[in-house]
Structure 1
Amino acid sequence: MGFITRGHTFLVSAANWRLLFPSTSTSVPLHIRHRYPLSGLCCSRRNVVEILQERGLLDSITSESLRHSPLTPLKVYCGFDPTADSLHLGNLLGIIVLSWFLRCGHSAVALIGGATGRVGDPSGKTLERPDLDPAALDRNVSAISATIQRILGRESSSFSMLNNYDWWKDVKLLDFLRDVGRFARVGTMVSKESVRKRLESEKGMSYTEFTYQLLQGYDFLYLFRDHGINVQIGGSDQWGNITAGTDLIRRILQVEGAYGLTFPLLLKSDGTKFGKSEDGAIWLSPTLLSPYQFYQYLFSVSDADVVRFLKILTFLSIDEISQIEKSMQGSGYVPNTAQRRLAEEVTLFVHGQEGLDEALKATQALRPGAKAELDWKTIETISEDVPSCSLRQDQVLNLSLVDLSVSTGLLESKSAARRLLKQGGLYLNNIRVDNDSKKIELDDIVDGKVILLSAGKKNKMVVTIT
């Protein structure tokens, strides 16, 4: 989407369009979002810190000066240690805050901790992280780099990525102790909350972990000096590590102008972490968690949390979010409308249009009674997210639907299956069955590979035919 002003043509993403023209926000088609590069116009006349605070994305800043230079170009970075082969939903906040800086006309860098990942950040941890062998670490670096590039690479040309192993691999211990270590105050390091809590614990803290804040602090110094990066961001648990960097810059380089900014951790209203399910973390990599599963997790957010998460996790304007919140109080509100919007926006940001299309297709096609034609790939999308079993074709053909529903574990008994069938709640491949003598035929096996059984709207069973 473009417009012309003073002879210049600007391409504007849907998120920018909403901020520029709130009254037209609801008419912007979902499919155009993130298709165009950011112009930087959406908030370049507003201080990014004010925007983050308004949206609940600001915890602390090291200096109020950061609030008072809305038009000063900043270069900001956020670190991501490769402790796994995918980032998770909690890591998404760092990417979103980087994106807000980009949208406000600043530059952003994602720093991959190829070196610090070998040590392990003790912040928020009760035990030391297990060692990763070099091959696993390299795989993790490649995987999370690809994820961040996939998300932010389409946002702006002012985004880049670095790996701190590129400079740490040449650092010698004695040189580091002489040039950096002597400027670090042990008393200050011990007083950091992440260190203090571990020192008071039964397991204590190793010297290796104790040095982590100094390593991260030196990263900031190196990036400030050699790359002109003057802002480091991170979760609230990173405050000690971030201030270690601003202290080193002040002591060693004897200059001001380095800032730190933290955002709150991603928590639900009950204080528990958002981004964890019974099966583990909500990964950002589509190879570990399908866009459909990612979408469904966000769709399941409670009414108590959905408005806050719309502010934190999406780029919808505050006015539009307020309208959604107001509509939730109205008598004509359709349940889960706000959750659907949240799931669409975040899935689009993380997985792009293709991922969102996949999630929406699966969501629609797998809804009992949906007219969309099923295919085995769509069913396979949810096979890891719902109960499933494998049966031979000869075990299935000519078996009654009632018996199949019981033998697969979808329903407890034949009487329960018949009762549900009479109530209109038993589905075969999303088609309601009202004949209790219905038997499975060859045409009922989707693409000759799978059968989808549904008991009501939520209980499903994927039967893989071997």
Structure 2
Amino acid sequence: MKNIMEELSWRGLIKNKVPGIENQLKKPTTMYIGFDPTSDSLHLGSLLPIIMLIHFQKMGHKTLVLIGGATGLIGDPSGKCNSRILLDKKNLHNNAESIKIQISKLMSFFSEKTELLNNFDWLKNISFLEFIRKIGKHFTVNYIISKNSVKNRINKKDGISFMEFSYTLIQGYDFYYLNQVKNCLLQIGGSDQWGNIITGIELIKKKTGKIAYGFTFPLITKPNGIKFGKSEKGENIWLDKNKTSPYKFYQFWMNISDFEIEKYIKIYTFFSKKKIEKLIFQHKKNPSKRLLQKKLAYEITKWVHGNKISKEIIKITHILFQKKNGNLQLLDDKTFVSIYDHIPHILFPHEKFEKGIFLLDFLKKSGFFTSKNEANRALKANSIFLNKIITKKNILLKKENIIGKKYILLQFGKKEFFMIKIE
């Protein structure tokens, strides 16, 4: 067998690991990764554990995906400053089903089918008394308090609830259960899961005497340092096209800095080391062409949204970002529809153009700017483009400004686009 740890190491996908794991992984091993269904969609950060599963499958190991139908009712405190918003069973069930579909689709694109499990199926049958007698007795309060997920919360004003305090024991029990039923010897997860993974390893050892293993991979974070997460506040990059458009998804990868792109191309593709080194060499010869960004954006958009959509996005991107104005009037209706569908847009009543409407009023009423003053500042800064042509005055818009018979393309700065459909 190929050395999986060596492969993951050069890609920068190992953060913490249990001693002896290299020897265990020289032979086929059953491993698992868990996903709590706190949303009805996975996100950019969720791709990483799926990529890990695929790497393990490619190396001949058996993979298990655990959907946290039970643990999702509690909420993992790892990396959290405050308690999660609790979801009811119906929402969690719906989320779990949506995530299952996404994972199955993503996995089947590259590899064999993985086994999907839900911890609600076994945890629902355990009584509270049975759990604290059979599992709780193996761990001291001091042990749980030592976990970062608890330690970081316990001294805060709101503290940590007993419910969240017990989370690490429940996740530890999942590992123990899978060890007994599926002979699972390895759990992996993001670096914030290290404490929970160790709890499972300790529980297996105390109850069976067997040795189990674990390791973590680095978390993918936003520019502000906060991880991408299903329950995180602020904007996320979702895999569901209804939450994050394929165009916006593609642009996220295109806008990765040269400083980070070498790391991302190793993490988010399955290209060989030789191919990646060649791509990096070619990229460095002319970074302005953004070869790595284009390659990564295409590959990962094709994986998540399909080849047809990814090709559409590339065509749209070329039209929107070409340096020459081009003649938008020459585009066919199908292309206009595609652009309209993939970028932020709005319908606008045709009668508003009978007598004309001033640009600033149009920018405000269309929703492209939140206020007329904001739009005016952008106009004075020469940052407004109308149908790819820079506009410096508050002109009166008329029917002549409509392209493709019913569209107006607005642009603010270099990267923000907005299309209005006149009906």
Greater CA deviation, 455-464 or 259-268? Answer: 455-464
CA distance in 2: counterparts of 1:323 and 1:462, whole angstroms: 39
Q: Report 1:344-423 matches (<5 A).
A: 344-367=298-321, 369=326, 373=332, 374-383=335-344, 388=345, 390-397=347-354, 399=356, 403-404=358-359, 407-409=362-364, 412=375
Structure 1 residues 398 and 337, CA gap change in structure 2 (3 angstroms): farther
Identify the residue that residue 284 of structure 2 maps to in structure 1: 329
Structure 1 residues 132 and 437, CA gap change in structure 2 (3 angstroms): closer
Answering whether residue 14 of structure 2 is matched by residue 58 of structure 1, we say yes
Structure 1 residues 408 and 136, CA gap change in structure 2 (3 angstroms): same
- 2:178 maps to which of 205, 215, 223: 223
Q: Report 1:87-98 matches (<5 A).
A: 87-98=42-53
Answering whether residue 4 of structure 2 is matched by residue 48 of structure 1, we say yes
CA distance in 1: counterparts of 2:359 and 2:6, whole angstroms: 58
Identify the residue that residue 417 of structure 2 maps to in structure 1: 460
Cα pair 1:47 1:68 within 8 Å, conserved: no
Identify the residue that residue 262 of structure 1 maps to in structure 2: 216
**Cα-to-partner distance string for 1:287-321 (whole Å, 9 max, x where unaligned):** 21121111111111111111111111222222222
Structure 1 residues 377 and 186, CA gap change in structure 2 (3 angstroms): same
Cα pair 1:406 1:413 within 8 Å, conserved: no
Given residue 382 of structure 1, which amino acid in structure 2 is its aligned partner? I
Which secondary structure does the structure 2 equivalent of 1:125 belong to?
coil
Which secondary structure does the structure 1 equivalent of 2:187 belong to?
strand
Cα pair 2:109 2:303 within 8 Å, conserved: no
Identify the residue that residue 440 of structure 1 maps to in structure 2: 399
CA distance in 1: counterparts of 2:331 and 2:3, whole angstroms: 46
Identity among equivalent pairs (%): 35
Q: Report 1:24-423 matches (<5 A).
A: 45-63=1-19, 65-256=20-211, 258-267=212-221, 272-273=225-226, 275=228, 280-330=235-285, 332-367=286-321, 369=326, 373=332, 374-383=335-344, 388=345, 390-397=347-354, 399=356, 403-404=358-359, 407-409=362-364, 412=375
Structure 1 residues 76 and 355, CA gap change in structure 2 (3 angstroms): farther
Given residue 6 of structure 2, which amino acid in structure 1 is its aligned partner? E
Cα pair 2:69 2:119 within 8 Å, conserved: yes
Given residue 453 of structure 1, which amino acid in structure 2 is its aligned partner? L
Cα pair 1:295 1:359 within 8 Å, conserved: yes
Structure 1 residues 366 and 398, CA gap change in structure 2 (3 angstroms): farther
Which secondary structure does the structure 2 equivalent of 1:407 belong to?
helix
Which secondary structure does the structure 1 equivalent of 2:32 belong to?
strand
**Shift of the alpha carbon at 1:247?**
0.7
Greater CA deviation, 352-361 or 309-318? Answer: 352-361
Which secondary structure does the structure 2 equivalent of 1:345 belong to?
helix
**Shift of the alpha carbon at 1:84?**
1.5
CA distance in 1: counterparts of 2:49 and 2:416, whole angstroms: 35
Cα pair 1:314 1:342 within 8 Å, conserved: yes
Greater CA deviation, 86-95 or 238-247? Answer: 86-95
CA distance in 1: counterparts of 2:194 and 2:416, whole angstroms: 44
TM-score (norm 1): 0.78
Which secondary structure does the structure 1 equivalent of 2:101 belong to?
helix
**Cα-to-partner distance string for 1:86-144 (whole Å, 9 max, x where unaligned):** 12212221111111111212121211000000011000001111211122111211122
Cα pair 1:120 1:212 within 8 Å, conserved: yes
User: Structure 2, unaligned stretches of length 5 or more?
Assistant: 369-373
Identify the residue that residue 34 of structure 1 maps to in structure 2: none
Greater CA deviation, 152-161 or 237-246? Answer: 152-161
Structure 1 residues 456 and 171, CA gap change in structure 2 (3 angstroms): closer
**Shift of the alpha carbon at 1:271?**
6.9
CA distance in 1: counterparts of 2:165 and 2:74, whole angstroms: 10
**Shift of the alpha carbon at 1:407?**
2.6
Cα pair 1:408 1:461 within 8 Å, conserved: no
Aligned length: 404
CA distance in 2: counterparts of 1:117 and 1:456, whole angstroms: 42
Structure 1 residues 431 and 160, CA gap change in structure 2 (3 angstroms): farther
Structure 1 residues 58 and 451, CA gap change in structure 2 (3 angstroms): same
**Cα-to-partner distance string for 1:223-280 (whole Å, 9 max, x where unaligned):** 1110122111101110110011011111112222x21110111136x77246599961
**Cα-to-partner distance string for 1:309-343 (whole Å, 9 max, x where unaligned):** 1111222222222233333432x444322211121
CA distance in 2: counterparts of 1:90 and 1:415, whole angstroms: 34
**Cα-to-partner distance string for 1:332-365 (whole Å, 9 max, x where unaligned):** 4443222111211222232232442343243234
CA distance in 1: counterparts of 2:398 and 2:265, whole angstroms: 46
CA distance in 2: counterparts of 1:194 and 1:289, whole angstroms: 30
Given residue 408 of structure 1, which amino acid in structure 2 is its aligned partner? L
Q: CA RMSD in A?
A: 3.2
CA distance in 1: counterparts of 2:164 and 2:93, whole angstroms: 21
